[in-house]
Every structure is written in structure tokens, then in C-alpha cells.
Structure 1
Amino acid sequence: MTYPSTNDYLRETVLSATPAQLVTMLYDRLLLDLARAEAAQSEENWVAAGAHLLHAQDIITELANSLDVDAWAGGRDLLALYTYLGSRLIAANVQRDVRITRECSEHLGPLRWAWLAAAEGLASSGTPTAEQGIAVVA
């Protein structure tokens, strides 16, 4: 008997996720990258810190690129925040500054919880609406 691998399970999870759940997953990974980068920076392991910060930048770019700024009133503000955070992640990496990494985590933590609440709200109510903030994901 063959058992599914962790990668198989992860692929199926992603393929079956709603757009809101996918955004939440991106935030989860983004915050994990930042926690790992912070730990690596604290240990002065700049190679590992850089790798985690670069992956975090990739996620911010993906979130920004998938954002439909016209779908809801806060779309442009969220894009501005993503742009700011992208530049701060670059600074955290170049300057090797753990305080900047923490700053990014502090901005992103509440957003992750907001997306999680929205995703859970959608799961119980059905169709996404712009008022629920989910229509921002293409």
C-alpha cells in the first residue's frame, strides 16, 4: 500500500482551497518566513536570514499582484501597505536589521487574522462579496 506524501497532501490542500483560504495560507507562510528570518538574524546567520527574507518578498509581491484594488474601498491602501512592506523587507535584508523584520511581522500579523476571519466567514456564508474583503483576490 502506498501512502500519500506530505507534498501530495499539501498539493491537494492548495488545489481544494478557496481564494480566501489561499490568501490565509500565504500569510501563514509569510509570517513563518519572517519568524525564521528573525531567528537567523539574531544568530547572525545572514545566508539563512536572506533566504527567508527573499521568500517573504516573493509572497508580498504575489499578494500585491493578485490584489484587485478596485474591488473594495481599502484596496489601494492595502496595495500601498504591500509596497511599503516590500521595501522594508529589502531594507531588513540589506541592513541585516532584525528590528525591521519585526516591524514587518507586526504589520502583517493583524492582517493575517483579518483574512482568516474573512475566510471563516465565507465558509459559513457561501459566496464572497466585496464587503467581506475577499473579492480583492483575482
Structure 2
Amino acid sequence: MTDRLNDYQRTAILSASPAQLLTMLYDRLLLDLDRAEQAQLAEQWGEASAQLLHAQDIVSELQRTLDVRVWDGASRLMAIYDYVYQSLVRANISRDVELTRECQARLEPLRQAWHEAAAMPVAAPVGGVARVG
């Protein structure tokens, strides 16, 4: 059963559009933070650390793939990613559930916005540029 699930997940990722991949990353990031929060509350520090480290990996990937030259708001988004990354490191080192919750609160609106953007229909390209609308 696990092999089938892994195959399904691999296929879903490989066939996803860039917008779908982004929303998948945000979904997993928030799931990791929820799991980290629960582990911190239960004082399961090893599990909390594993979840926070995975969340840091996702934020690093978001930072790595964000091209600040393409969109004028990208530098502000990068600043959020930088802040969240540093907060996750501190949450892990100091075992601070409040920092984990703060990261959740900062990222949840972004996750919702990306889901809404990904759900918008993309019009046929006009003059070589796809229009959303």
C-alpha cells in the first residue's frame, strides 16, 4: 500500500503545474508547522525539531525559487521568507511554540492567496503573454 501511495504522490508532483506545486509546498509547510506546534505542546522535542527542520527546508526552497527581478513585490515576499526562516530556527533552538504559531499566522494568508491565484483561469496568450482573468 505504501508503494502505491508513494507512486501516486510522485505522479501528482510530476504532473503538477507550477502554481499547483507552489500550493502543495505551502500546504505541506503549514502541515509541518501544525505538527511542530502539537509536538511542542506535548514536549516531544525530537518530533518538533524534525517538523521545524522540514519547514525550514520548504522555506529555503521558496526562497531559492523566488526571482526578485520578475515581480516588484518579490523583495517584500523574500523579506517575509527570511523572517519566517529565522523564526523557525529560533523556535527550534528555544523550543518556543509562540514563534511556531507566529510563523503559521504569517504564512496562512499567503497560502490562501496562492490557492486563490492558482484557481483563477488562465486566458489564452495574447502577444506572447498569458493573461489571468
Give the structure-1-normalised TM-score: 0.87
Q: Distance in 1 between matches of 2:62 and 2:114?
A: 12
- The Cα offsets for residues 6-57 of structure 1, whole Å up to 9 and x where unpaired, read as 1111111111111011010000000000000000000000000000000000
CA RMSD of aligned residues (A): 1.9
Moved over 4 A (4+): 126-132
Q: Unpaired runs of 5+ in structure 1?
A: 133-138
Q: Which has the bigger relative contact order, CA under 8 A and spacing at least 6?
A: 1
Assess, with a 3 A threshold, how the Cα gap between structure 1 residues 131 and 86 changes in structure 2: closer, same or farther: farther
Match of 1:82 in 2: 81
Identical pairs, percent: 54
- Summarize the Cα distance change of 1:99–1:127 in structure 2 as closer, same or farther, 3 Å threshold: farther
Aligned to 1:28: 27
Question: Aligned-pair distance for 1:126?
Answer: 4.2
Alignment coverage as a number of residue pairs: 127
Quote the offset at 1:131 in angstroms. 8.5
Amino acid at match of 1:57: Q
Q: Residue 135 of structure 1 aligns with which residue?
A: none
Kindly indicate whether residue 106 of structure 2 is the aligned counterpart of residue 103 of structure 1.
no
Which residue does 2:40 correspond to in 1? 41
Distance in 1 between residues matched to 2:76 and 2:113, nearest whole Å: 15
Unaligned runs of 5+ in 2: none
User: C-alpha deviations, 1:47-87, integer Å up to 9, x for none?
Assistant: 00000000000000000000011111100000111011000
Cα displacement string for residues 79-115 of structure 1 (whole angstroms, at most 9, x for unaligned residues): 1110110000000000100000000000000000111
Contact 1:72 1:130 in 2 (8 A): no
**Per the alignment, in what secondary structure is the counterpart of residue 95 of structure 2?**
coil
CA contact (8 A) 1:71 1:130 kept: no
Question: What is the alpha-carbon distance in structure 1 between the residues aligned to residue 130 and residue 95 of structure 2?
Answer: 39
